[in-house]
Structure 1
Amino acid sequence: MKSLKLLSSLAFTLIACASFSQSDSLDKYILTPPPSPKPHINGAEVFGVRPNSPVIYKIAASGQKPLHYEVKNLPQGLSVDASTGVITGALKNAGDYKMEVTVSNALGKNKRNFTIKVGNQLGLTPAMGWNSWNCWGLSVNADRVKSSARAMIDKGLIDYGWSYINIDDGWEAAQRNADGTISPNEKFPDMKSLSDWLHAQGLKFGIYSSPGTRTCGGFLASYQHELQDAATYASWGVDYLKYDWCSYDSVYRAEGDTTDAAFIKPYTIMQKALLQQPRDIYYSLCQYGWRDVWKWGANVNGNSWRTTGDINDSWGSLTSIWSRQAPLYPYASPGHWNDPDMLVVGMLGWSDNLHPTKLTPDEQYTHISLWCLLSAPLLIGCDMSKLDNFTTSLLTNDEVLALDQDILGKQAQQIIKKDDYQIWVKQLEDGTHAIGIFNLSKEAKTIHVDWKELNLSETLTVRDLWRKKDLGKFKKGFDTKVNSHGVELIKVK
């Protein structure tokens, strides 16, 4: 049986690699229509920053290039590049700064309201970006990071709100400097230069460490150097920190204190260090959901916290993580998000040896749909320089991504749970609802959705979000055929 499974897996990988290298044979699974050449503003409608912290915000907009960007009521202290849509500067005073953004090209213009909230909250919508781990593991280097950043721009993902470029483990030098500060290893010759380059593109820069003595990959971590490391990150222009428990387990055991306070302590120490820096750094807690992190993560200024162990590109891993998310919806809110781990679409490998994701196309639609319904951080884990048309379409459907970035910040609730299907409902800021209808069985099946069971109105207008298609008005309920391990993602009003 094991030999049969191995041969089957090998055959799948060879077929997938062959199809990838030929002509995007996954194109037949694309549901989303091509984007309009007319301007369309995407991304979140709100952005949080602390007083006097640097603002770097790229107005996300799709449409035929070149695009022209204007901002009405742009507050003093900020400026916008009319050709790139990058807003930079700083704001001294707390408050809500409301403005109107206009993006235009030769075919028309699109307007939308936008608010910068200056206060104590960052991450008012979940982070969207890329992380090096699921792709390169410890073999990450500066060239690979820049390659993914360039692909984020060239493939148009930046036009849909993707902005963070995060280096995971493997960047640290073997030893600290004489003064105790940390340095990158030879794979990253100039972190400040890399950060400056990313910022110039309108992107943001993320980095990784651990509260222990060593990272999960055995590199230097931040134990007893938290303030120094936070200051170093700030001097490099870091915008995001993933802080991974890893070897802190040995410190925790050695101290002999098993209280919740002792468990939380290392994250409190780094919280205080980050707050002393002159720039905002999004704080991503990674300790695998232990000690019910969702109950205390916000108290240490965690902008997101991992709810489970690491994901891999299998249906078993996806459903295992999925099964733990339903009770967590009360703990998600603007600035504080449950994190079910990174995305496993595209070319992955955790090393130099990449392979196409082992998730089927339907499973990938389920993956992206569920993460968006959960208001989860969206961190692409693949080699973006090798994005095919299908994966690009998964990551650039503005109506699907808008669920994740909805400013109400409500995580979807699991309303119906059966052995072979589930229905999740997400309340949106405009009063509408998004509904995910998931088929967990091994066969395609027709699923009936009863509006009353979902506590919704008797008659609702239904829109298919992946296909961007209005389906009409439906009284009392809705029937839809869903592929095995697939999803029907709809919006109702």
Structure 2
Amino acid sequence: MGFNNWNSTHCRAEFNEEMVRGIADLFVEKGLKEAGYEYVNLDDCWALPERDTNGKLVPDPKRFPHGIKAVADYVHAKGLKLGIYTSAGTKTCSDIGFPGALGHEESDARQFADWGVDYLKYDNCNNQGVDAKKRYRTMRDALAATGRPIVYSICEWGENKPWGWAADVGQLWRTTGDISDNWSSMLSIMKKNLPLAPYAGPGHWNDPDMLEVGNGGMTATEYRTHFSMWSMMAAPLLIGSDLRKATPETLDILGNREVIALDQDRLGKQGTVLASEDGRWTVVKELAGGDRAVALFNETGAPQRISTTAKAVGLPAAEGYRMRDLWQHRDAHTAGTIAATVPAHGTALFRVSADDRWAHYPPAVEAGWTGTPLAEAGRPTELTTTVGNLGRTPARDVRAALRAPEGWRVEATSPSRAAALATGKRLTTSWRLTPPAGAEPGGYDLRLTATYRAPGGARTTAEATGTAQVVVAPPGGASYASDLPWMDATNGWGPVEKDTSVGESAAGDGRPLTLGGRTYAKGLGTHAASAVTFYAGERCTAFSAQVGVDDEAGEKGSVGFEVWADGRRVAGTGTLTGGDAPQAVTADIGGARTVRLVVTDAGDGVDHDHADWADAAFSC
């Protein structure tokens, strides 16, 4: 557990001695050290571009005027440890290309030890084709020869499947390429790392890369999922945001000690996938002492109910179970069902145990709804909510209330109260929601609150949140997709672009859409994995586009294009590469309320996957 500067600073001038000292100070001041964060790690760009005349590495005197040892001494004085970076090649990975350690392993390892370094991240750039096992074992031996305990982080991006050979080489190994601060990147990496659970254990860990929590590219819900799932995967927790700018919300996520306890559990088991269907994931982690951590993860863009049982997660038979919500910090009991209605891109995280004192906790009550209500401004839409009792004892005097933004009309059209709910029983309430006539398109927060009395008489609350979407009906005739508002868009690299390629990571930096040498004036520029959802309002009949990997990717990249109407796949291309000619896509979308344009990575990662929907148009 610790910090690495790369995700927040890259090689910018703000990465310097002052920053590193400031992070160490904040570890102590904000309680992060006490929560378990220990390593303050320097990434690339700490050195000068050339070695000295003796072949030694030279810290950049502008960034580190007092040298690395002085920084290490400062960090050590705080009761923390210092990490450093280099590459198993002739140069590091930055565009400048600082000295790598290939051929200098013994000398560099000795310098690191003499400076007081406690952790080495060893990257994979400019490796001259030398066998990965040889390169990484050579540095392992060089570190061991120094006599100083140095954690050894193998960062070869999973290219050579280090989980199969590196358990006696390093303490952790990267399983994927670099993470980016967006939902698609985080999700893709999580999916690649989850199946590798059998290879992780005490002293040898799968590393799905650093945390992005707090860098601004995801929502708070998505960051909680990021932190939850990294902890379920027993991953290294290396903060990748600049703590000097961290909000209270960011610090609350990073400092959640109950979630950290799952990551740091002494049994050392990585969580495994118990079930995965239609974007509903159940991941289970066995804990020391017999408890189970259960993550109910919703990959989709709308609330979904996810459910499992105490028996299914491996707990012994019992009359009741303690179920602790690790984000709400609440205890409840369940008769055996472990369930939650999980918001879009959210994760409900529980610690569940066969506890003889289960009856001391109130019954677990689940509140929520599925799907996202869609409404045109000034027109009503319907929503059905449920409040269910998972506990062994009854929930009494149950009351449901739905809150929408100011100006919205909310009317219950069926009962919203129940005298009691026995085990497994539900209160189902229908609601009519009407946004004001002038409501702008977009998502609007909804909150369902269920209050009830436990057998002891105490009043307890269960809540669920989600959104209602104000949508605009497409005009009659033909309309380009880039001229219509979308409901939701996710992208694997940078934002989805209108009428240009996706370009690089910043908004608006794309180039003209170009497929097979032809330039298109209209369309969407995306990067796998991507999904863009439009409201069709049952008014449209067809969708069409020319699709392919943008010419800016050259011969590289491999993607698949899909069109989905109301959750049903209605068109697809199979795999297209950078060397393939563009392909025409047409889809029958008659009667659909929503249409989703999906780009997959074709199963081989997302590098160079710049995917264009050229001349994308709806007929309505």
Give the TM-score normalised by the residue count of structure 2.
0.55
Paired residue for 1:471? 332
Please tell me whether the aligned partners of residues 50 and 98 of structure 2 are also in contact (alpha carbons under 8 angstroms): no
Aligned-residue CA RMSD in angstroms?
Answer: 1.2
The match for 2:9 is 136
Equivalent pair of 1:458/1:475 in contact (CA under 8 Å):
no
1:326 to partner: Cα distance: 2.4
Q: Quick check: 1:157 aligned with 2:32?
A: yes
Shift of 1:283: 0.1
1:458–1:441 distance in 2 versus 1, CA, 3 Å: farther
Q: Identify the match of residue 191 of structure 2 among 318, 323, 342.
A: 323
SS at match of 2:10: helix
How far apart, CA to CA, are the structure 2 residues paired with 1:133 and 1:434? 31
Q: What secondary structure is seen at the aligned counterpart in 2 of 1:369?
A: helix
Residue range with higher mean Cα deviation, 445-454 or 396-405: 445-454
Alignment of 1:191 with 2:68, yes or no, is: yes
Partner residue, 2:155: 286
Equivalent residue for 2:145?
Answer: 276
Worse-matched range after superposition: 461-470 or 129-138: 461-470
Is the 2:281–2:306 Cα contact (8 Å) retained in structure 1?
no
Residue 296 of structure 2 contacts residue 307 of structure 2 at CA under 8 Å; is this kept in 1?
Answer: no
Structure 2 equivalent of residue 439 of structure 1? 298
SS in 2 for 1:461: strand
Once the two structures are superposed, residues 305-343 of structure 1 have per-residue CA deviations (whole angstroms, 9 ceiling, x without a partner) of 000000011110011101112221111111110000000
Q: Distance in 2 between matches of 1:458 and 1:443?
A: 34
User: What fraction of aligned residue pairs are identical, expressed as a percent?
Assistant: 43
Does 2:276 align with 1:399? no
Instruction: State the Cα deviation string for residues 261-282 of structure 1 (Å, max 9, x = none).
Output: x321000100000001131100
How far does residue 210 in structure 1 lie from its aligned partner after superposition? Answer: 0.7
Amino acid at match of 1:412: G
Matches within 5 A, 1:63-82: none
Aligned equivalent of 2:101: 222
Higher relative contact order (CA 8 A, sep 6+): 1
SS in 2 for 1:272: helix
Asked if 2 retains the 8 angstrom alpha-carbon contact of 1:242 and 1:283, the reply is yes
| Structure 1: distance between partners of 2:313 and 2:69 | 51
Superposed CA offset, 1:224-260 (max 9, x none): 1100000000000000000001111x343xxxxxxxx
Please say if residues 212 and 251 of structure 1, whose CA atoms lie closer than 8 Å, have aligned partners that are also in contact: no
Count of residue correspondences: 345
Partner of 2:434 in structure 1?
none
- Report the 3-state secondary structure (helix = DSSP H, G, I; strand = E; otherwise coil) of the residue aligned with 1:290: coil
Partners of 2:307 and 2:138 in 1: CA distance: 50
Q: Deviations over 1:102-139 (max 9, x none)?
A: xxxxxxxxxxxxxxxxxxxxxxxxxx000010011012
Q: CA deviation at 1:383?
A: 0.6
Structure 1 position 456, deviation (Å): 3.0
> Following TM superposition, by how much is the alpha carbon of 1:489 offset from its aligned partner in structure 2, in angstroms?
0.3
Greater strand fraction, Structure 1 or Structure 2: 2
1:365 corresponds to 2:224: yes
Look up the equivalent residue of 1:401 and give its one-letter code: I
**Residue 462 of structure 1 aligns to which amino acid in structure 2?**
M
SS, match of residue 185 in structure 2 = helix
**Within 2, Cα distance between the matches of 1:230 and 1:216?**
19
Tell me the TM-score normalised to structure 1 length.
0.68
Matches within 5 A, 1:242-321: 242-248=121-127, 250-252=128-130, 262-300=131-169, 302-321=170-189
Select 2:345's aligned residue among 473, 477, 485.
Answer: 485
Q: Confirm whether residue 424 of structure 1 aligns to residue 279 of structure 2.
A: no
Shift of 1:201: 0.5
1:458: Cα distance to partner?
4.0
CA distance in 2, matches of 1:129, 1:221: 24
**Per the alignment, in what secondary structure is the counterpart of residue 231 of structure 1?**
helix
Task: Return 5+ residue gaps in structure 1 as ranges.
Answer: 1-127, 253-261, 348-356
